Amino acid sequence: MLSVEAVHSYYGKAHILDGLSFEVRRGEVVALLGRNGAGKSTTMKSVMQLVRPRQGRVMFQGADLVGEPSYRVAKSGIGYVPEDRRIFTDLTVMENLEVGRQPARKGAPDWTIEQLFDIFPNLKERRTNRGKHMSGGEQQMLTIARTLMGNPLLLLLDEPSEGIAPVIVEQMAETIKTLKAEGLTVMISEQNLHFARAVADRAIIIEGGEKKFDGSFAELEAQPEIRDAYLSV
Amino acid sequence: MAFFFAQLLTGLANASSLFLVASGLSLIFGVTRIVNFAHGSFYMLGAFIGVTLMEVLPGHFGFWGSILLTGLAVGLIGAIVEIVVLRPIYRAPELFQLVATFGVILVIQDLTLMIWGAEDRLGPRAPGLRGIWRIFGEPVPKYDIVLIAMTPFILFGLWYLITRTRLGVLVRAATQDREMVGALGVNQAWLFTGVFALGSALAGWGGALQLPKGGADLLMDFNIIGTIFVIVVIGGMGSLPGAFIAAVLISVLNVLGVTYLPSSTLVLMFVVMAVVLIIRPYGLLGREEVAGEHGQVGAPETPIRPYGRLGQAVIAGLLVLMALLPLVADQFLLILTIDMIVFALFAASLHFILGTGGLVSFGHAAFFGGGAYAAALLVYHFDTPMEIAFLFAPLAAGLLALGIGWFCIRLTGVYFAMLTLAFSQLVWSLAYQWRAVTRGDDGLISIWPTDWLSGTVPYYYFTLILGVGGILFLRHVIHAPFGYALRAGRDSPRQAEAMGIDVKRIQFAAFALAGVMAGLAGGMFVFSKGSVFPTELEIAASFDALIVVFLGGVKTLAGGVVGAGFMTVVEDWLTRLEYWRLLLGLVIIAVVIIAPEGIVGSIRSAWARYRGTGDEEVAK
């Protein structure tokens, strides 16, 4: 479904992604693992074209996304949940969802606000609250719900477990499983190996903008040296 | 009491047109972050197009239909301007777009002159609303009452659009974080165009609605833009209810001011704005601007480096050429070069506070003109020798900058810019209205240099030494620890504070130094011209300097100097032509689009690309 091919991305002069390649297949949940600064967020931004890769291709459903404006990437069916949430703090929950709303898309689950309220009951209670009056966990749920309103085929979740209470993290894991059951393809970036193992089918480990491991969690268990070298556990 | 009430009604009637125009500006700024100086031009276009349509279309339907059509036409023109001029430069440094909008002002001015001619047009009376109604015995024009009655509906219509429609939700979301709106699948380019068109249409409607009370003339654009900015800033940029409250406040105060305190009219609104900003730094209903929260942090700033061997050699060569210039040049060329050096120092001082300090001042002419006036007043009233009077130019400007800076430095961004503008207007109105001392717009004349400097050639060397010296001094300061601290405060105020830099104090000192240097340029100016007029303190003078700095390049030291040279030459050449504004506007727009980093910045980037050491761009 998504295939990142030898992508090089930069921030100014800093070379962040160094020929990174990987694939995400329809229906799976993939965890992108790596330390702080390994290039996880940049990978997601390079898919979204929020950071424009200097070299390489980002193929989605057979089309190269490199050079497209971000809104076209979103319209082609990729939903993006940024690490820092970026909810619209002056807008209410309902209005935040409205910004994300896009027409139904063939082959993707078609979300209604009611369905999303079933998954995120807190949002229903707070539907008329402004974003700035919500807790970190609620904001995290809102930002996921907002992206789902676009009926994406592929969901990119940047560090969904970061900075929220442990009980919410549990809830988040359940949510991701629900999304997978609905037929969504998901890629999460994580530092929390435990969380990743709980939700993902496959792990990709990057370091210095290069891929160091790509395989199942069972294979990763079998190679503790990789875990020790590239993940801070 | 009845008279007072009638006055109040006049104020409220004026407010309705002002509110329309101001809400358009506020909307455009809220979403696109563009400080659109050309907004007054759309208002003027609205008036001219409205008059023309009303002449063609008869009766009630004709009048109101013309107003409706005018808005649509001006909206369309706005959309074209956005697509052609602004869309290519959204990624340019913040506030760079305002230079482009200044080019748009000039182009629209001359096009309007070409199409409608120089004569003022009287607006037609609204059919059926020609007379007056008596309210408590006082005559109030019927049209005023209709305008007052319409305003709540306009406010409600805009409020509904912004709070209850999908477009409004997207607009508000984009006001906060447009990049995220794009990542959610919304085409921002069209959202921006739509908002710009709507904002322009509102200005057009404002221009057409005021026709029966006023008319259409070629000065409308500049006459209204100051007021509109004041209203938007008082209300809080991006806030419609704020703009409404401020429009009513300013209109009513203006009407009362004309009646009870006529000498206050020029400054009243600027005083109100200054008071509001000092108490509420983000306007009545505005919210704090946080840099970078709109997904528009530019590429990381390249550190300013001293020039290499080659650069130093080129500059030394240029200086030698300038020193030898009197051997070959005629009187005219020497005077032009003096003007250029004076302007270059003025621009360099603005560049210092703007580029290095990150503080965009809209009122820098206050220090240039202030310095000029300080010296001229001493000579004019006390026959002070030039040697002493001249010293007072930088001194007085520096003191003025300390005073103004004390108020302004606590603000940031557009609010800082507007407060500096307000203070410069105060200084200007002082020069303009305190006739006993300043002789008003008759100016101060016969301010000639002392004997040993009275020839053109000696004065040329005097200017060259002080001008180049001043510019080199600023350059030195930028590379000194003080300059590092200033740049640290610009790029990252919090980290700078955490490192123990008192950012506000550094900025305060830099603001004062910029004032001193501008005053020095003002002193050089007044003795080269032999006179000084309030025009040197006008908004236009401040904007000239701003445009020069942006055109030259904000991020390069030579920017202000090169921009000043470019502008002096281009203006000298173009103003000989009939439609020079049109051409100058097009030149400005072209430079802005072709060289978005300014002339020097773009040359440097091209050079770096050629050498293969370019700064790689980050797509945002």
Structure tokens, B130: 């020609």
Mark yes or no for CB contact B183/A71 under 8 Å: yes
- Preferred mutation among B163, B166, B169, B288 to probe A, highest tally of A CBs within 10 A: B169
Give A225→chain B minimum CA distance, Å: 35
For A53, name the nearest residue in chain B, comparing CA atoms only.
B619
Give A10→chain B minimum CA distance, Å: 7
Q: What pLDDT digit, counting tens, does each position of B45-79 carry? A: 999 999 999 999 988 889 999 999 999 999 999 99
B-chain CB neighbours of A86 within 8 Å are: 177, 180
Q: Which residues contact B592 (CB under 8 A, 6 or more apart)?
A: B85, B89, B92, B96, B97, B99, B100, B103, B550, B551
Mean per-residue pLDDT, B5-22: 90
Report the phi/psi class of residue A37: left, alpha or beta, with left for phi > 0 and alpha for psi in -120 to 50: left
Q: Which residues contact B88 (CB under 8 A, 6 or more apart)?
A: B593, B596
pLDDT at B380: 92
Do residues A157 and A144 make contact, with C-beta atoms less than 8 angstroms apart? yes
* Helix, strand or coil, per DSSP, at residue B88: helix
* Helix, strand or coil, per DSSP, at residue B138: strand
Residue whose structure tokens are 């290039």: A39
Cα–Cα distances in angstroms (integers) from residue B616 to residues B149, B192, B220, B303, B591, in the given order: 56, 27, 44, 14, 22
A8 near B CB under 8 A = no
Do residues B302 and B615 make contact, with C-beta atoms less than 8 angstroms apart? yes
Q: What pLDDT digit, counting tens, does each position of B118-138 carry? A: 999 988 888 888 888 888 888
Q: What pLDDT digit, counting tens, does each position of B246-256 carry? A: 999 999 998 88
Domains of chain A: 2-230 (3.40.50.300)
Mark yes or no for CB contact B185/A74 under 8 Å: yes
Give B276→chain A minimum CA distance, Å: 23
| B616 has pLDDT over 60 | no
CB atoms within 10 A of CB B452: 11
A90 near B CB under 8 A = yes
A89 near B CB under 8 A = yes
pLDDT at B297: 43
B-chain CB neighbours of A100 within 8 Å are: 184-185
| B615 has pLDDT over 70 | no
For A150, name the nearest residue in chain B, comparing CA atoms only.
B184
Task: pLDDT band for B172, please (50, 70, 90 cuts).
Answer: confident
CB atoms within 10 A of CB B412: 20
Mean per-residue pLDDT, B340-346: 93
* Helix, strand or coil, per DSSP, at residue B248: helix
For B620, name the nearest residue in chain A, comparing CA atoms only.
A50
How far is A174 from A161, CA to CA, in rounded Å? 12
Q: Indicate the helix (H) or strand (E) that contains B575.
A: none
Instruction: Transcribe B342-390 into DSSP letters.
Output: HHHHHHHHHHIIIIIT----S-THHHHHHHHHHHHHHHHHH---HHHHH
How far is B358 from A192, CA to CA, in rounded Å? 40
B168 near A CB under 8 A = no
End-to-end Cα separation, chain A, in angstroms: 31
Q: Least CB-CB distance to A48: which of B175, B183, B189?
A: B183
Mark yes or no for CB contact B184/A91 under 8 Å: no
ipTM of the complex: 0.93
Structure tokens, B232: 């938007």
Mark yes or no for CB contact B170/A51 under 8 Å: no
Q: Least CB-CB distance to A150: which of B179, B185, B187?
A: B185
Angle at B268 between CA B264 and CA B271, to 5 degrees: 125
Task: pLDDT band for B613, please (50, 70, 90 cuts).
Answer: low
| B526 has pLDDT over 90 | yes
Mark yes or no for CB contact A50/B186 under 8 Å: no
A75 near B CB under 8 A = yes
Which three-class secondary structure string do you get for chain A?
CEEEEEEEEEECCEEEEEEEEEEECCCCEEEEECCCCCCHHHHHHHHHCCCCCCEEEEEECCEECCCCCHHHHHHCCEEEECCCCCCCCCCEHHHHHHHHCCCCCCCCCCCCHHHHHHHCHHHHHCCCCEHHHCCHHHHHHHHHHHHHCCCCCEEEEECCCCCCCHHHHHHHHHHHHHHHHCCCEEEEEECCHHHHHHHCCEEEEEECCEEEEEECHHHHHHCHHHHHHHCCC
Mean pLDDT estimate for chain B: 87
A204 near B CB under 8 A = no
Give B284→chain A minimum CA distance, Å: 17
Report the phi/psi class of residue B276: left, alpha or beta, with left for phi > 0 and alpha for psi in -120 to 50: alpha
For B181, name the nearest residue in chain A, comparing CA atoms only.
A99
For B174, name the nearest residue in chain A, comparing CA atoms only.
A88
Mark yes or no for CB contact B179/A70 under 8 Å: yes
Cα dihedral B472/B322/B545/B515 (nearest 10): 40
Do residues B191 and B204 make contact, with C-beta atoms less than 8 angstroms apart? no
Task: Determine what percent of chain B falls in helix, strand and coil, rounding each to the nearest 5.
Answer: 75, 5, 25
Residue whose structure tokens are 């607009």: B171
Residue numbers of chain A with a pLDDT score lower than 70: 233
pLDDT at A58: 96
Structure tokens, B467: 């001008």
Of B51, B53, B54, B29, nearest in space to B39 by CA: B29
A-chain CB neighbours of B169 within 8 Å are: 91, 95, 98-99
Residue whose structure tokens are 């080129």: B314
Select the highest-mean-pLDDT range: A142-151, B2-11, B210-219, B306-315. A142-151
CB pairs under 8 A between A and B: 82
A88 near B CB under 8 A = yes
End-to-end Cα separation, chain B, in angstroms: 59
Give A80→chain B minimum CA distance, Å: 7
Write B67-71 long-range contacts (CB < 8 A, 24+). Answer: B67/B205, B67/B208, B67/B209, B70/B46, B70/B204, B70/B205, B70/B207, B70/B208, B71/B46, B71/B201, B71/B202, B71/B204, B71/B205, B71/B208
Q: Which residues of B542-570 are buried (b: 16+ CB within 10 A; e: fewer)?
A: bbbbbbbbbbbbbbbbbbbbbbbbbbbeb
Give B517→chain A minimum CA distance, Å: 34
Do residues A188 and A196 make contact, with C-beta atoms less than 8 angstroms apart? yes
Task: pLDDT band for B614, please (50, 70, 90 cuts).
Answer: very low
| B518 has pLDDT over 80 | yes
Structure tokens, A75: 């319209």
Give B498→chain A minimum CA distance, Å: 23
How far is B451 from A129, CA to CA, in rounded Å? 75
For A147, name the nearest residue in chain B, comparing CA atoms only.
B184
Q: What pLDDT digit, counting tens, does each position of B91-101 carry? A: 776 667 888 89
B319 near A CB under 8 A = no
Domain extents in chain B: 2-230, 334-537
Mark yes or no for CB contact B170/A50 under 8 Å: no
pLDDT at A233: 56
Mark yes or no for CB contact B188/A71 under 8 Å: yes
Helix ranges, B123-186 (H)? 142-164, 166-176, 178-183
Cα–Cα distances in angstroms (integers) from residue A167 to residues A92, A161, B146, B278, in the given order: 25, 10, 60, 46
A-chain CB neighbours of B184 within 8 Å are: 71, 74, 80, 99-100, 102, 146-147, 150
Q: Least CB-CB distance to B618: which of A10, A99, A100?
A: A10
Count of alpha carbons within 13 Å of B416, Cβ hemisphere only?
23
